[in-house]
Structure formats: structure tokens, C-alpha cells
């Protein structure tokens, strides 16, 4: 009999491609993952990992067992969902996460209505970047996410995650009111060659989308201000220190002295609800329905 935790470790390595990635997703150390897999090798009688450069990869036996592990874990998720469906009452914890701008724009009214209609529902909310929140969804630490995907750099999602689009919005360039292009009806990013930029930290969707957008126009990014909150970026823009790409949802609150100029060609951001397949409890379904306006 294989241990569920060891199968979960193998599945995490298969999904994330490394011991380190699996460790982050499972919130244990890489040595802890390695120990789980060593025990699984003894249980199975097969070598499951082999060296690959400075990392490791699954052997053929590892890939075969990982396929079974993924199916077992998916079946367990469906079992959890089926048990939740035995009572359709919307109650208990609903653990939400999302990027700050979408939480602020979309979630307060939805949660106010849900908790008024279902007093036994107990939502909790954390903010963060999509790249850091998705692993928490996969491990079951969060139930529902509001994530972003920029059209010039679509967000890749692992298998087993369901999504629903909530909004598609324009992204504008934020400039200080004294900037020569600030009063233009639109601007091409190529006209901002040499500009200093602000963005969210490297690895996040806004940062990578900015890099892709500038390189597509033949420019190497000069990103000197890396801060998580758009509101902080706009404070720097207002003082004429930097430019920033800002989706419409993130443009308020805004300090005086900032101008938002549309881009040509246009750049867009999609905001999506994301949850684990087979883990759409009545509470998750009710929240998704409320976010999409399908709750009647």
C-alpha cells in the first residue's frame, strides 16, 4: 500500500519539475520531499528519480506511478466535493486569495451579499501575486483565487485548475502630468524608449508582461522601481520619477499629478476566478456565481 503523502510528493515533482518546486508547493524542505520519494522507491521496488544536470527528473517508472498518483489525488478531491454536496447549505470556511486590484474592485460587494444571505459562511481573504497563490490553491490551502493573465503573456496554469473569466480590461500607461506625452489621446510604447519604469516584482504577471511588451517594441526595459502595490507605483509616477503600466481596476486610488494614457496597440489584462477541479464546494460555486452575476 502506497502512502498518500508519498504519492502527493511524487505528483508535486511531476507538476513542478523539481524537488525544490515540489517543496515550495508542499511547504516542506527539499530534503523532506527527497525522503518521501526514497521511501516510495522502497515501497514500489522501482527507481523513480534520476539525475538530470543539477536537478532530477522522473524515470519511466516514476512517470507511470506519477500518472496513477495524479488520478488518485483527483479522485480524492472529487470525494471531498461529493461529501460537501451531501449538504448544499453554504456555510463554513471559504478561503480566498487574489491580486490586490481585483480583490478591491470585485470582492467587497460580493462578500457582503454572500455573508448577509448565508450568515454561517466564514470567508477569509489574503492578497498576493498569482505566481505565489496558485501553489496554495493546488495544495488545498486556498479554495478560490482571483488571478490575472495579461494578453501579451498568458498565465500558464497546471492541470486540475478550473477558471472562469470575470473581466477583461484595458491597460494604460501612467505618466506624470508634466511628461511630454501625458496629454496625448494615446501613445505607442515605442515612443517611451529610454523611460524609467515601475512594476511589481520580477516573476509576477505585471512585471513579465511589461518586459514582454517593451521588448516587442524593440526596447530593453529600465525597471528601477519594483513594488507590489500599484498605488505605490502611482505615487512615484506622480512625482515624475517613473512610468508604469496600470490596468483600469488598479487606477484608483490615485494621487494628483498622474495621467493615464491609452496604448496603441492596446494591451489588456484578464481577471479570472480559479479553483481546483473537483473541489467546487457549494460555497465556492456560490462565490463564483456572485462574481459573474449568475446568482439570480
Domain locations along the chain: 4-85, 92-166+271-292, 168-269
Q: What is the CA radius of gyration of the chain?
A: 22
Q: What average pLDDT does this structure show over 122-137?
A: 94
Q: What average pLDDT does this structure show over 61-87?
A: 78
Q: How confident is the model at residue 81 (pLDDT cuts 50, 70, 90)?
A: low
Q: How confident is the model at residue 34 (pLDDT cuts 50, 70, 90)?
A: confident
What residues contact 181, with CB distance under 8 A and at least 6 apart?
175, 187, 191, 192, 261
CATH architecture of 92-166+271-292: 3-Layer(aba) Sandwich (3.40)
CA distance 142 to 230: 24
The model carries a pTM of: 0.71
User: What percent of the chain is predicted at pLDDT more than 90?
Assistant: 64
Number of alpha carbons in the 13 Å side-chain half-sphere of residue 258: 25
Q: Is 142 helix (H, G, I), strand (E, B) or coil?
A: coil
Tell the CATH topology of 168-269.
D-Maltodextrin-Binding Protein; domain 2 (3.40.190)
Closest by CA position to 144, among listed 21, 281, 295? 281
Q: How confident is the model at residue 53 (pLDDT cuts 50, 70, 90)?
A: confident
Q: Do domains 92-166+271-292 and 168-269 have the same CATH topology?
A: yes
Q: What average pLDDT does this structure show over 96-109?
A: 95
Q: DSSP labels for 1-69?
A: ---HHHHHHHHHHHHHSSHHHHHHHHTS-HHHHHHHHHHHHHHHTS--EEEETTEEEE-HHHHHHHHHH
Q: How confident is the model at residue 76 (pLDDT cuts 50, 70, 90)?
A: confident
Helix (H) or strand (E) holding 215: helix 205-216
Grid coordinates 522507491 are at which residue?
Answer: 41
Q: Is 81 helix (H, G, I), strand (E, B) or coil?
A: helix
Q: Is 267 helix (H, G, I), strand (E, B) or coil?
A: strand
Is 90 exceeded by the pLDDT of residue 73? no
Tell me the per-residue pLDDT of 189-219, one tens digit each, with 9 for 90 and over.
999 999 999 999 999 999 999 999 999 999 9
Neighbours of 144 (CB within 10 A): 24
Q: How confident is the model at residue 83 (pLDDT cuts 50, 70, 90)?
A: low
Rounded (5°) CA angle 285-287-293: 100
Number of alpha carbons in the 13 Å side-chain half-sphere of residue 234: 20
The pLDDT score that the predictor gives to residue 123 is 96
Is 80 exceeded by the pLDDT of residue 86? no
Tell the CATH topology of 4-85.
Arc Repressor Mutant, subunit A (1.10.10)
Q: How many separate helices (H) and strands (E) can be counted in the chain?
A: 9, 10
Helix (H) or strand (E) holding 261: strand 258-276
What residues contact 103, with CB distance under 8 A and at least 6 apart?
96, 125, 127, 146
Greatest mean pLDDT among 48-52, 79-83, 292-296 lies in 48-52
Looking at per-residue pLDDT, the higher value among 150 and 293 belongs to 150
Is 90 exceeded by the pLDDT of residue 271? yes
Q: What average pLDDT does this structure show over 270-288?
A: 92
Is 80 exceeded by the pLDDT of residue 284? yes
The pLDDT score that the predictor gives to residue 156 is 84
The rounded mean pLDDT for the chain is 91
The pLDDT score that the predictor gives to residue 295 is 55
Amino acid at each position: 500500500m502506497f502512502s498518500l503523502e508519498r504519492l502527493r510528493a511524487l505528483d508535486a515533482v511531476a507538476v513542478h519539475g523539481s524537488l525544490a518546486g515540489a517543496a515550495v508547493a508542499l511547504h516542506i524542505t527539499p530534503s523532506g520531499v527527497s525522503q518521501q520519494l526514497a521511501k516510495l522507491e522502497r515501497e514500489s521496488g522501482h527507481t523513480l528519480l534520476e539525475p538530470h544536470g543539477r536537478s532530477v527528473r522522473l524515470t519511466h517508472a516514476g512517470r507511470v506511478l506519477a500518472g496513477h498518483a495524479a488520478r488518485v489525488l483527483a479522485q480524492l478531491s472529487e470525494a471531498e466535493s461529493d461529501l460537501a454536496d451531501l449538504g448544499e447549505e453554504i456555510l463554513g470556511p471559504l478561503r480566498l486569495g487574489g491580486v490586490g486590484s481585483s480583490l478591491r474592485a470585485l470582492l467587497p460587494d460580493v462578500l457582503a451579499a454572500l455573508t448577509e444571505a448565508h450568515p454561517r459562511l466564514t470567508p477569509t481573504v489574503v492578497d498576493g501575486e498569482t505566481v505565489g497563490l496558485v501553489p496554495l490553491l493546488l495544495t488545498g490551502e486556498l479554495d478560490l483565487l482571483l488571478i490575472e493573465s495579461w494578453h501579451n503573456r498568458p498565465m500558464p496554469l497546471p492541470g486540475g485548475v478550473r477558471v472562469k473569466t470575470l473581466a477583461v480590461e484595458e491597460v494604460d500607461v501612467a505618466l506624470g502630468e508634466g511628461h511630454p506625452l501625458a496629454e496625448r489621446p494615446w501613445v505607442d510604447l515605442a515612443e517611451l524608449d529610454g523611460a524609467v519604469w515601475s512594476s511589481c516584482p520580477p516573476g509576477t504577471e505585471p512585471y513579465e508582461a511589461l518586459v514582454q511588451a517593451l521588448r516587442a517594441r524593440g526596447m530593453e526595459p529600465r525597471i528601477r522601481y519594483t513594488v507590489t502595490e500599484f498605488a505605490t507605483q502611482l505615487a512615484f509616477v506622480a512625482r515624475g520619477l517613473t512610468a508604469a503600466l496600470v490596468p483600469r481596476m488598479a487606477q484608483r486610488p490615485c494621487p494628483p499629478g498622474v495621467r493615464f494614457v491609452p496604448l496603441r496597440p492596446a494591451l489588456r489584462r484578464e481577471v479570472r476566478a480559479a479553483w481546483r477541479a473537483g473541489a467546487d464546494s457549494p460555497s465556492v460555486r456560490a462565490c463564483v456565481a456572485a462574481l459573474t452575476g449568475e446568482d439570480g
